[in-house]
Structure 1
Amino acid sequence: MKKLALVLALGAVAMTAQAKDSKTITASFPSNSLAELEVDIAVGKIDLQTYNGDTIEVEILVEPKESDSWFGKPDVSEATLNNNTSGDKLSLEIDSDDYELSWQVKVPVNLALDVEVGVGKIDIQDLNNSADLEVGVGKIKIETTAADFKKVSLDSGVGKTAMSGFSSVETSEKSMVGSTTDYRGQGQYSIDAEVGVGNIRLRRD
């Protein structure tokens, strides 16, 4: 009986420790006076969904980044979402590269996007505005509902770039390891996407 109690106690400790291995941060920001959302992520992924609303809704799953450090895993309870408004731009960031972050963001369709990820991916649904996107290692995927864009520039140092669903013809160039895709149209907005190592895809629904 004592052995069973000990096993159950150890199991409870393990479950408690596991629960502390992640943290969820939620936040909401009014967008009435904003024109642009900026997000900076060291390691992780971000899924952005545009909608016809007037608030930016953010949910972030924070997990410790895999590490061989003798000091163990970083304490995710210390993770905080920093926000700063400068003019008509809201900037969001969790200021540490010790975490792996999974962002879920609902953003009003009338806001331009400026997103940078060190290692990971950017996934945007229903884009209908300008976007400046950069990933060091990973990938970018964009699905848009815009009829056209004024300018599109996709650049991968090592990887592939592609766009589809537009009436005008894009210009694509491939090197030994990289790829670029450039496009000029009659739209209002522009997309500038760059990946150091990885692929970029833009598709119009």
Structure 2
Amino acid sequence: MKKVALVLALSAAAMTAQAEESKTITASFPSNSLAELEVDIAVGKIDLQTYNGDTIEVEILVEPKESDSWFGKPDVSEATLNSNTSGDKLSLEINSDDYELSWQVKVPVNLALDVEVGVGKIDIQDLNNSADLEVGVGKIKIETTTTDFKKVSLDSGVGKTAMSGFGNVETSEKSMVGSTTDYRGQGQYSIDAEVGVGNIRLRRD
């Protein structure tokens, strides 16, 4: 009987541990009084999709970051999304580098973007505004249907930069390991993207 009880207890513990392997956070923010969205991510990826709406829709999959710590994996149940509005800018962040985060964000097309990722990637679809993007180690991919931009600056310390669908693009290699791409046009918006180690690509559909 004791053996059966022990097996049941272990099974319950295993199921509890498995249930806490991940956590999904969802949130929605009105954007009527906003001009910019700022997101700060320590480790993970973010997929941003612009649309003709008036709310910012956020879904985040939180998973424990791989660790060799004696204390085991961090408890994802403690992860919380912090939001702060300053003037016309909304800032979003999960204040811990113990998690690996997968962000899915639907953002109104009229908002500028300011996104920083320590390790991971940024993927933006249908960009039609200004964007300031930075990744320490990883990559940035941007797709746009905008006819033109005022200014584009892509900079990779170790990696490649490229943009297609625009004229008068200047790409140069630096230090044999890095790359920069610069563009000046007649558009309204600007893109400034920087990666320490990794690639950057901008494409107009």
TM above 0.5:
yes
The answer to whether the Cα contact below 8 Å between 2:169 and 2:182 also exists between their aligned partners in 1 is no
- Range with greater deviation from structure 2 (13-22 or 3-12): 3-12
Structure 1: any 5+ residue segments left out of the alignment? Answer: none
User: Which residue is equivalent to 1:2?
Assistant: 2
Moved over 4 A (4+): 1-9
- Range with greater deviation from structure 2 (50-59 or 158-167): 158-167
The answer to whether the Cα contact below 8 Å between 2:161 and 2:171 also exists between their aligned partners in 1 is no
The answer to whether the Cα contact below 8 Å between 1:56 and 1:107 also exists between their aligned partners in 2 is yes
Q: 1:171 Cα shift? A: 3.8
Aligned to 1:27, the other structure's residue is in SS state strand
Q: 1:19 Cα shift? A: 1.0
TM-score, normalising length: structure 1:
0.95
- Range with greater deviation from structure 2 (147-156 or 173-182): 173-182
Q: 1:9 Cα shift? A: 5.5
The answer to whether the Cα contact below 8 Å between 1:170 and 1:184 also exists between their aligned partners in 2 is no
- Identity over the aligned pairs, expressed in percent? 95
- Range with greater deviation from structure 2 (172-181 or 58-67): 172-181
Q: Separation in 1 of the partners of 2:38 and 2:14? A: 38
Q: Separation in 2 of the partners of 1:181 and 1:175? A: 14
Q: Separation in 2 of the partners of 1:155 and 1:86? A: 29
Q: Deviations over 1:137-190 (max 9, x none)?
A: 000000011001000000000000000011333343343110000000111000
Aligned to 2:129, the other structure's residue is in SS state coil
Q: Separation in 1 of the partners of 2:98 and 2:169? A: 43
- Aligned counterparts, 1:150-169, within 5 A: 150-169=150-169
Aligned to 1:17, the other structure's residue is in SS state helix
Q: Deviations over 1:25-56 (max 9, x none)?
A: 00000000000000000000000000000000
User: Which residue is equivalent to 1:33?
Assistant: 33
- Range with greater deviation from structure 2 (172-181 or 4-13): 4-13
Q: Separation in 1 of the partners of 2:66 and 2:107? A: 30
Q: Separation in 2 of the partners of 1:187 and 1:171? A: 20
Q: Deviations over 1:95-127 (max 9, x none)?
A: 000110000000000000000000000000000
The answer to whether the Cα contact below 8 Å between 2:46 and 2:123 also exists between their aligned partners in 1 is yes
The answer to whether the Cα contact below 8 Å between 2:58 and 2:106 also exists between their aligned partners in 1 is yes
RMSD: 1.6
Structure 2: any 5+ residue segments left out of the alignment? Answer: none
User: Which residue is equivalent to 2:175?
Assistant: 175
The answer to whether the Cα contact below 8 Å between 1:45 and 1:121 also exists between their aligned partners in 2 is yes
| Pairs aligned (count) | 205
Q: Separation in 2 of the partners of 1:71 and 1:202? A: 42
The answer to whether the Cα contact below 8 Å between 1:122 and 1:139 also exists between their aligned partners in 2 is yes
Q: Separation in 1 of the partners of 2:3 and 2:126? A: 57
Q: Separation in 1 of the partners of 2:2 and 2:165? A: 67
Q: Separation in 1 of the partners of 2:159 and 2:17? A: 39
TM-score, normalising length: structure 2:
0.95
The answer to whether the Cα contact below 8 Å between 2:59 and 2:105 also exists between their aligned partners in 1 is yes
Q: 1:91 Cα shift? A: 0.2
Q: 1:16 Cα shift? A: 2.2
Aligned to 2:168, the other structure's residue is in SS state coil
